[in-house]
Structures are given as structure tokens and as C-alpha cells.
Structure 1
Amino acid sequence: MTTASTAATAPDPTAEPLVRVAGLRVEFPTAGGLVRAVDGLDFTLAAGGALGLVGESGSGKSATAYALLDLHRGTGARVTGSVRVAGTDVLAAPDAELRRLRGGVAAMVFQDPLSSLDPYQAIGDQIAEVYRVHHRASRAAARARAVAVLDRVGIPDAARRSRSRPHEFSGGMRQRALIAMALACEPRLLVADEPTTALDVTVQAQILDLLHELRAETGMGLLLVTHDLGVVAGSVDEVLVLEGGRAVEHGPVAELLNAPAQPYTRALLAAVPRLGVPVPVAAVVAVTEPAEGPVTVREPARATADDDGDKGDDNGDDGEPLLRAVDLRREFGRGRTAFTAVDGVSLTVRPGETLGVVGESGSGKTTLGRMLVRLLDPTAGTIHYGGRDIARLGERALRPLRRELQMVFQDPVSSLNPRRSIGESIADPLRAAGGMTDARIVARVRELLDRVGLDPDWYHRYPHEFSGGQRQRVGIARALAPEPRLIVCDEPVSALDVTTQAQVVALLAELQRDLGLALVFIAHDLAVVRQVSDRVAVMRAGRVVEEGPVSQVYDAPRDPYTKGLLAAVPVLDPVESATRRTARRAIRALGAADPS
């Protein structure tokens, strides 16, 4: 069933598959017994082919990918069935043979490069170490190989940057370094587990283009794990859709995306945000709800469009802004090391509207958001709220405003205390404000849990007992606790699968409608921002390069940077995806030929 849509040459269908999985089951021990993550999975991957594993969080994608290199060994997990990679019976292989397989025959690229790279060791030294494990090479030869693969994956000035440590690389460069490490020994199989999650659209496009080019050059097979069907459209030949550890649909990428046979696949496709099409709420609730408990999703009534494509007509320029920022600037460091993260940004937020803020990583979005709610002090500029400039108010003067200006953070795990129940975390801002009895605080928290679609009886549960989407709902409930007028949402859905992402977006829209909230929605996913925003500000290198109504910015962008961001957004059409990749390659070639 493999097609040649993305590979340079079609794999030989008569040859022995590079990967053959039969009856795979993966079970993890818990206090209540074994939990089955993968349940009787069968598939093959031909040499040189590319297969996408797609599904929601908890569908068994990563557990399956780990089984290909038997990374479950020694963890307590129970893995049964048959897994053969390049002729090796992986599950039965002795440790020595498994070490030869890992990195030499099959390599893995993980979702979070920071957790996969040694923070104390130079990138080049880490790659050289992997190379020497599998080859009898001198340190100089291994070092030269490290520089060569770093150069191949597009790290500029590879010889010099090979001496850098992971924290000195951007997120996209760290992911390239991890791919370089995987390529060091020229593996026949590359397993990429969510390699573009949390990357901005331009870096995501670069990483996917790189994987495509490497396949074409080396003939390696690719197993791509992702929750984003837009990612697989231009990157694989076949797609295997997983639900609850089982395969629900498997076929060529173009056929599956254009005419999915199963309701679950259709629901996944419907939940993918598109630049020009709103996500129907019916699609959000059609997908199986999490096992942890019920999730309430109500239709966001505000998602109705005017004739010009903008949402509603209540947010015109005639009303007085809730918040106005003028020439905001934020510098970090001093002297020669000073860095300007936000450079002269002016914007307004009106009651009840959503202002989307988009841009690449490092563009200043998060710094701007933190200044708007005064979690960071501006170096210069003014923030007018409630009839006065709050930009330089001290903490004592700011305390009454903390109730009205709240923030939802990107990573709910790091923003929730793991040693405190979620109920007590939500109660914190209420206790800080004072004036409420303990009984009233508990009652208010239970109301908030119900309001965001969580069971009020989960008050005493801890963050680790919740899924990613549920933890984000806890973060939203905490932000709502003091009854704010403005909430800054900093990448609130970037690490969530598409259906959970759609549920959280629908929840925010419903809360905004019911409570009259103003939202600043910061994200690198331009399709999501279009779904939720009334107006959009595009940031680059600390400045706003374009701002206006969502239909104007998306349908008729003026700035070349905005046009480039929109062109990098993944599409669900494999043919269009290939066309865009070719165009990006041509632009890169032109830039290389004319550095000026």
C-alpha cells in the first residue's frame, strides 16, 4: 500500500520489510494492575518507506515507537508479540545485539531534545560519542563526523557550533542536533516521536523538509509519530490511525486524508484547525472522551462570522480599550550582553475581544504577554489600565489589580505545584485576596471545576493524576478564580493533540462569551489563532510588523514575514504540501546563491 508520494524511489514491495510488527501488546503496571497501552497491533514498513502513526494522546503511538527499539526493556513494562527491524527479532535480542541495533541500524528522535541531550556536554562531543560506540574511530574522526552531520542538517558554522552546549541552541536547532545525532551512524530506520511539537510553523516546516530530503538522499525508512494530521500529509506514504492502542484505519496518505472510512479518523480530521475553515464543535465532541472522566464542551456562540469574516460586531474601534500598551520595551542583561526582547510595541485590547499574537520562537510574544499582566516590569513604555499607567506600579499598588489581570501558562505541569491538590492550587488566588471563608473558597473552587468541565469531586486529586488537557483546564480554572477582566493565554494548546486542543479552544470561547472576558491569545499555530481571534498582531524580533482584523491579516497580508508564516502552515492536501515544499527549497537555494 506504499505510494511514492514523498520518497525519491518507491520501495520494492517484494522485498522483506524493514519493519514487521505482529500482535504487539504493551502493558504498564499500575497500582490497580496492568494498563494496556497497545493492543494487538500489526503493521509493516518497507525499506525507504514512510509511515505515520496518528492518534490522540494515550492512543499508543509513542509506546509503539519505543517498542521498535525495545526502549521498554528494564522499565517494568510488559511487551509481547513480534517486532522485527532489519531482520533482528528486537524483543528477543540480547543486550549486546540491541545496543548494536540502537543508533546503528535504527535511531530515534524524541519530542523534547532538552531531555535527550546532556546539558553539560558540547553537542559535537555527544554526537562523536554515539559514533564511536558503533565504529572503531579515533576521536578526531568522530569529531569530524559530528561536524559533517551537523552541517548536513543545516546548523550554520557547524565546526564552531559543535562546541556549543544545548542551552546555547534554539529549540529548532536542538531538534536538528538530535536528528544529526541519529544520522551519525547512517541508520536504515529513523523513528521520530512528535519531532515538531511546540515548534513554530516555520521551524516545523524546516524540520519536515529536512526529514524528506534525508529520506530521498539516504533511502532510510521513517516512522513518524504525531497527533497532527497536517504534519503527516506531506511527510509520509502511509498513515496508521490508532485509538486506544488499536489500529482503526490504515492506508495511503492521500486516500486516508481525502476519504477517511472510520468515524474516529473523520473526527480527527475535522478537529484540525485550518486557516480558512472554523472547527465544528460537533467534531470536537465526536471523538472518544478521556477515560479519566467526563469533559463538558459547550458550543461557543461567539464563533459566528460577519460578512467580512470577522467574529461579531461588538468589538469595533469605537469602544474605550480595556488595556492600552504604548511603546513597550523590555531589555535583558546589561552592557554588551544586553538583549532587547520587546522593542517599542503598541497595542490595545478591548472588553470582550480576543487579540491573537503570533510569531516565531524568540519574537517576544511571551515577554510581551508577561508585561501586559505585570509579571515582568517594562524597561520603557506605558500600560494604561483602569484609567492609569500601571507600568511602573510597585507590588503593593499592583496587588488589587492581580485579580483582574491573569495568565494561563503554556505548561500546566510546571505551573502547578505537584505536592498540592488541584483544588488548593485553584484556591490560592482566592486565599491571597482575602475576604472569603474557607467554606466559601472550597465552594467557589468546586464551581470553577464544574465550569471548566472537570468533576468537582476531583478537588483533592494531584496534577499527575490528570491528562495534559485536563491540567490545562485546571490552569484556566485558577486564572478564572479571582474573576478577572483580562486573561493572557501563553501557548495554552501548543502541546495538546488536536481534539483536546479544540476542546480547550471551545472552552475559552464559551467562557469569554459568558463572562465577558478579554483574551490575549499567544500562539505559534496560526490556524488556531485564526479560529479564536478578532484581531491579530504579528511579531518579529520584538516588534509588531503587522496588526489588524483577523480576516485582513490572514486573507490579505501586507508584510513579507506574515506571508512567510502563512505559507509554512501545514496543509491536509499531500499534493499542495509537496508544492509548498518545492517552493521553500527554491527560496532556500536562491538565498544560498545570493547571501546579500
Structure 2
Amino acid sequence: MSLVDVKDLTVEFGSLRAVDGLSFRLEQGGALALVGESGSGKSTVASALLGLHRGTGARVGGSVEVAGTDVEQASDEELRRLRGGKAAMVFQDPLSSLDPYYAIGDQIAEVYRVHARVSRRAARARAVEVLERVGIPDAPRRSRSRPHEFSGGMRQRALIAMALACEPALLIADEPTTALDVTVQAQILDLLHTLREETGMGLLLVTHDVGVAAESVDEVLVMRHGRAVEHGPVGTVLGTPGEPYTRELLAAVPRVDARRVTAGVAGEAGAAVVGPAGAVLESGVVAFESGGCVLESGAAALESAGSAREPGAVAFKSGGSVLESGEPAFESAESAREPGPVAHEPGGAALEPGAVVLEAIGLRREFGRGKKAFTAVDGVSLTIRRGETLGVVGESGSGKTTLGRMLVGLLEPTAGEIKPGGGVRPEVQMVFQDPVSSLNPRRSVGESIADPLRARGERDETRIRGRVTELLERVGLEGAHYDRYPHEFSGGQRQRVGIARALAADPRVIVCDEPVSALDVTTQAQVVALLGELQRELGLALVFVAHDLAVVRQVSDRVAVMRQGRIVESGPADEVYDNPQDPYTQQLLAAVPALDPEVAARRRATRRELAAA
């Protein structure tokens, strides 16, 4: 009997069919990844396995059997025994999944007592045992800590410990590493792999990150619009995908080992081919037309400027925007990289391409006082030039976000100074990591975008609305969206709203703080392409703060690697990535997920050896 047996599953919310006739099996001890874009139905399927849609108004059809329990026919009592006992779930956001008022150990002990009917003392001992099992140091003491006292990676480990408390046969992990940096992500994935080996439990992994799937599972099921597009062994699906959508999904995945390709004339050696989501494809990689059909190997990815394209075929600029009919497919390498026309500051001074627009000298930022003082940024100096992207990478807690907030002026440095280029302070704006929390849910997106205009003294409401409409259209939304509210937009659309709001102040520098960390790969590529296009047209300087090293390489001219508040290595992006000098940089690059399962297995073995040494 299969551990999970899903037949013709449908889930409907009103008129929306989120899952449409899905069928799959998961055997005892197996590992399956559900992969797809946001809105493909992955999390809905995971919830259906535990009957979490019961009582919500959702209409569920088909059959779902988990660990011998018919989920749809089970009584409420049988479902309670299933949840946490036979099957457990690890959710995406551990902070919202844990009660902030209770100690971590108490929450794990409570789950164990519900299913095992043991004493409080025994439950507490079990909580400490599973915390030790998932690698929490000094577990007896840390079990008394509350969630806010744990880092993001430790909170995710605590959730996994809670799931393991009753030794379930199935672990469902819904985007368990989305908000984690690469080293912590590697630790969590290694932990899941080790637990599978030791306990023989099955794993259902829900993820939009194809690299995470390659690291963790035996089989992959690719979903789109609630349906299964492709299903098979992980090596086959990721290595030789049979469906156009799967190939398109893989094409949008940024590669940490691929150099940033500058645009050239189509057909030239080294010319970039840009996918439909704006992702640059490596030389020789299959390119896609807008309809999803694949060009034959060796066929020209984009026709020359004078030749006709097939009806419906779309060519893309290096920034990701669609070319008009008859427009050259690629500009020359020099003109494509040149950051727009010469800009002028309000004082009238010309700002040449490559001119310094912002300089930080010896920045230091401390939090707290006396013995409890903590130095988040310690002696950081950097230069930001017009039209370039400076990538800032490092683990969580390395000081990246604090540095970005000082550059914008949201935090005052404890020491050091920020000097404007040319003696004129440029407008510096920020695009935040979480567009949900950075947009007021009670105000329309148009009003939020208008705030910088009003702050600069604009009072003519007609002109304000016209400018906001222009900005919405500039970032790929509709002017009619002015009166809509944040909850009416997808994650990628909300991030576009955040970019429009930053542009409203006519900035010279935009600091992007993890702007694509929570987005699926195709939406991520679209947002990155939009930023690149805006940079090229407006001459913007970008500071791209992120823990995703592959994305940073894709967008950056220069890279600064931060650790414990200091820059440990910096330089041109290709030099830093291809020949890292600092051991910490080497460690970060070694932790990036590989799309090849065999490479992933070798890296995992290497990490185990280093951990045991």
C-alpha cells in the first residue's frame, strides 16, 4: 500500500478551480517534490493531504488516502490522529506557525502529549530529544526560549522537531527554505535528507525553487494551473524535460556558475539570448518563443533585424522588454551596457555615465548600549556609480539590510559618513523584501505610490494621478489599478507596485532589499528584468541586497560579500564568483543548490565530511 495515494483530486474555491484532476502516489520512504509557479496549486494539494480544507467552504473532489486514512471520509477524530501523528506538516513561515507567547519546548511537548498521552515530564524530555536531533545546540536550555529568540533557521529546525515528535510516516514541507540564506538552506535540506535515511519517513516537498527539489527528492511533479504537466525521476525531469513548460521553468532559474552575459548582436559569439521571463540563457541553451514552442537546436534564437519573425513570436531585449516589430533584436554590446543618456541633477550639473553618485566611508552601526551593544555594521566603505549594480551578499545577520537602510537614510550611522557624488545628494529610495508589509492594506496602491510626490510638495491631484498612472504602466501594470488594494495583487505585482513607488521620487539610487526572495523563478526573472530595463533607460544605480547568490550574479556588475558586519571580499562579479579568495565566499558558493542531482549528492557528502571533521 502506498503511503500517499491521490486520485483525480479537485479543489475549488467558488468559481476558481485551484486543483484540477491531479493524481500521484508516494511510496513508503520516498520523496516527491511538487514544483511550479505561485498559484499553480502546490500548497492547496499539500493542505488537502491533511484535510485542512474541511470547514473552509472549499469543494474537494476525488480521493486522498494518507497512511491508510481516507482523508475525505475520515471523522474529525481520525483527522486529528492523522495530523501530527501519522503525517506532519512544516509550513513556510515558522514565525507565524509558532505561538509567540510560549517556549519552543512547551509547544513541542504539547503536540507530543496530544498524540502519545504521556506525562508532562516525559513530553518535555521528548521535546529536548527532538530539538537535539535537528541540531539545536544546548537543547535543554534553548527549549525554554521563545520563538523570537531563535534565528530563522533555528525556528525552521524547531518546526521540523515538532513535526518529528510523534515519528510520522510522512513529512509535508511547504516551502521550508524560502526565506533562508544559502548556508542555512543547505543545512535544512541536509537535515531532511538525514532524517529520511534514519527514520524511513516519506517526504512531500512543496517548492518553487527547482534547485531545492534537485537537492532533496527522488521524483518531481511539475504543476501548472492545478494540473500535472510532467512527472518522473528528478534526474530525468530536470536533466531532459519533456514538456515546454518544464523547460521554460528551468530556463528561468538563475545559475550561479553562469557569467553575466552582456547583450550583443544576435548570432555573434557570446550574444545573449533572453527567455520569455527576461532570464538570460547560456550559449547553446534552448530558447523559447512566447507560445512555449521550442526552437530546434542550432536554430537562430532571434532573427536578424531585417528578417520577419513568425506571427506571435516574441523577441526580448537584454532588459526583458518586448521588442517592437522591426526593432533590432539586440543592440551592440557597448550601447546595451551604456546606462542611458547623460542625466542632470536639479542644480544643473551633468552626471556622466559611471560617475560616483553615492559613497559610504567607514560606516558603523551599533544597537544597544554598554555590554549589550551589538555591532551590526563595522567599518564598511563602498562606492556606487551611475548605471551600475552593486550586489551585496551574505548570510542572515551579516549586516546587509542594516547597511541598505543606512544608505537610504532610514538608520543613522553610529560612525562614518555617506557622501553624495559631485557634492549633490541624490534621491535614494528602497524596494523592500516584503511588499505586503511595506504597503498599507487600507490604502489603494495608487495612493501609496503618490506619497513621494506629495512629500515633494506636489498638490495638483490631476497631475499626481497622471504621474502615478504613468508609473503603474511603466512597471507593467495598468493605470486602472490605481484604486485597487494590495490584497488584490499577486506577489510579483505587489513588488512592481513597490518599484513604482520608489521611482516616484525620481531617484538616482535604488536599494533593493531581497526584492525577489519570496517569488517563484519566473516571476523573479520578470522583476529582475524590469529592474534591469529601468536601470538602462533611466541611468539608475542599484544596490541589490540578497542572500541568493545566483540572482546576485545575474544582475550585478560588482559584488561585496559581507560577514558579521564587515566586507570580507569585493570586486567585479565574475572575478568574485569564478575565483573567490575568502574562505567564507567559497563556503557560500558551495552551499548553492545544484540542478544536477548527482552534483547535489556530492556536495551533500562534502558538507557532511566537513561537519564531521
TM score, norm. by length of structure 1: 0.89
Q: Per-residue CA shift, 1:42-77, capped at 9, x if unaligned?
A: 000000000000000000000000000011111111
Letter of the structure 1 residue corresponding to residue 409 of structure 2 = R
Mark the CA change 1:50 to 1:584 in structure 2 (over 3 Å): closer, same or farther.
Answer: same
Mark the CA change 1:301 to 1:419 in structure 2 (over 3 Å): closer, same or farther.
Answer: closer
Matched-pair contact (CA < 8 Å) for 1:298–1:510 = no
Could you tell me how far apart the structure 2 residues matched to 1:173 and 1:300 are?
40
Of 437-446 and 240-249, deviating more is 437-446
Report how far residue 89 of structure 1 moved.
0.3
Q: Residue 284 of structure 1 aligns to a residue in which SS?
A: coil
Q: Per-residue CA shift, 1:113-139, capped at 9, x if unaligned?
A: 011100000000000000000012111
Matched-pair contact (CA < 8 Å) for 2:32–2:205 = yes
Q: Per-residue CA shift, 1:325-369, capped at 9, x if unaligned?
A: 011000011112211100110111011110000000000000000
Could you tell me how far apart the structure 2 residues matched to 1:89 and 1:54 are?
25
The correspondence for 1:354, drawn from 389, 410, 419, is 389
Counterpart position of 2:327: none
Could you tell me how far apart the structure 1 residues matched to 2:600 and 2:535 are?
35
Equivalences for residues 361-400 of structure 1 within 5 A = 361-388=396-423
Report how far residue 305 of structure 1 moved.
13
Counterpart position of 2:52: 71
Counterpart position of 2:96: 115
Identity across matched positions, percent: 73
Q: Per-residue CA shift, 1:425-466, capped at 9, x if unaligned?
A: 111100111145211111111111111000111111110000
Could you tell me how far apart the structure 1 residues matched to 2:108 and 2:151 are?
18
Mark the CA change 1:260 to 1:305 in structure 2 (over 3 Å): closer, same or farther.
Answer: farther
Q: Residue 51 of structure 1 aligns to a residue in which SS?
A: strand
Could you tell me how far apart the structure 2 residues matched to 1:280 and 1:76 are?
46
Q: Per-residue CA shift, 1:71-100, capped at 9, x if unaligned?
A: 111111111110001111011100111100
The correspondence for 1:512, drawn from 535, 539, 542, is 535
Equivalences for residues 364-443 of structure 1 within 5 A = 364-388=399-423, 404-443=427-466
Equivalences for residues 119-518 of structure 1 within 5 A = 119-277=100-258, 280-284=273-277, 299-301=317-319, 312=337, 320-388=355-423, 404-518=427-541
Report how far residue 281 of structure 1 moved.
3.0
Mark the CA change 1:329 to 1:306 in structure 2 (over 3 Å): closer, same or farther.
Answer: farther
Counterpart position of 1:95: 76
Could you tell me how far apart the structure 2 residues matched to 1:105 and 1:302 are?
47
Matched-pair contact (CA < 8 Å) for 1:355–1:519 = yes
Could you tell me how far apart the structure 1 residues matched to 2:355 and 2:471 are?
29
Could you tell me how far apart the structure 2 residues matched to 1:25 and 1:250 are?
18
Letter of the structure 2 residue corresponding to residue 580 of structure 1 = R
Matched-pair contact (CA < 8 Å) for 1:357–1:537 = yes
Letter of the structure 2 residue corresponding to residue 333 of structure 1 = G
Aligned residue pair count = 550
Q: Is 1:27–2:12 an aligned residue pair?
A: yes
Mark the CA change 1:342 to 1:297 in structure 2 (over 3 Å): closer, same or farther.
Answer: farther
Could you tell me how far apart the structure 2 residues matched to 1:153 and 1:300 are?
44
Matched-pair contact (CA < 8 Å) for 2:353–2:387 = no
Could you tell me how far apart the structure 2 residues matched to 1:372 and 1:167 are?
27
Could you tell me how far apart the structure 1 residues matched to 2:443 and 2:508 are?
27
Counterpart position of 2:345: none
Report how far residue 288 of structure 1 moved.
8.8
Matched-pair contact (CA < 8 Å) for 2:355–2:421 = no
Could you tell me how far apart the structure 2 residues matched to 1:136 and 1:587 are?
40
Q: Residue 502 of structure 1 aligns to a residue in which SS?
A: helix
Q: Residue 92 of structure 2 aligns to a residue in which SS?
A: coil
Could you tell me how far apart the structure 2 residues matched to 1:536 and 1:407 are?
19
The correspondence for 2:592, drawn from 569, 572, 581, is 569
Mark the CA change 1:318 to 1:483 in structure 2 (over 3 Å): closer, same or farther.
Answer: closer
Could you tell me how far apart the structure 2 residues matched to 1:221 and 1:429 are?
51
Mark the CA change 1:314 to 1:409 in structure 2 (over 3 Å): closer, same or farther.
Answer: closer
Could you tell me how far apart the structure 1 residues matched to 2:395 and 2:55 are?
39
Could you tell me how far apart the structure 1 residues matched to 2:410 and 2:512 are?
13
Matched-pair contact (CA < 8 Å) for 1:271–1:280 = no
Could you tell me how far apart the structure 2 residues matched to 1:555 and 1:226 are?
28
Q: Per-residue CA shift, 1:148-202, capped at 9, x if unaligned?
A: 1000000000010000000000000000000000000000000000000010000
Could you tell me how far apart the structure 2 residues matched to 1:559 and 1:297 are?
40
Could you tell me how far apart the structure 1 residues matched to 2:453 and 2:316 are?
26
Letter of the structure 2 residue corresponding to residue 74 of structure 1 = G
Matched-pair contact (CA < 8 Å) for 1:302–1:513 = no
Mark the CA change 1:238 to 1:365 in structure 2 (over 3 Å): closer, same or farther.
Answer: same
TM score, norm. by length of structure 2: 0.87
Matched-pair contact (CA < 8 Å) for 1:302–1:312 = no
Mark the CA change 1:162 to 1:264 in structure 2 (over 3 Å): closer, same or farther.
Answer: same
Report how far residue 306 of structure 1 moved.
11
Structure 1: segments with no counterpart, 5+ residues:
1-15, 290-295, 390-400, 591-596
Matched-pair contact (CA < 8 Å) for 2:31–2:219 = yes
Matched-pair contact (CA < 8 Å) for 2:190–2:604 = yes
Counterpart position of 1:11: none
Report how far residue 283 of structure 1 moved.
3.8
Matched-pair contact (CA < 8 Å) for 2:367–2:375 = yes
Counterpart position of 1:49: 30
Could you tell me how far apart the structure 2 residues matched to 1:420 and 1:213 are?
47
Q: Residue 153 of structure 2 aligns to a residue in which SS?
A: helix
Matched-pair contact (CA < 8 Å) for 1:297–1:506 = no
Letter of the structure 2 residue corresponding to residue 299 of structure 1 = K
Q: Residue 528 of structure 1 aligns to a residue in which SS?
A: helix
Report how far residue 234 of structure 1 moved.
1.9
Structure 2: segments with no counterpart, 5+ residues:
261-271, 279-287, 292-313, 322-329, 341-351
Matched-pair contact (CA < 8 Å) for 2:339–2:537 = no
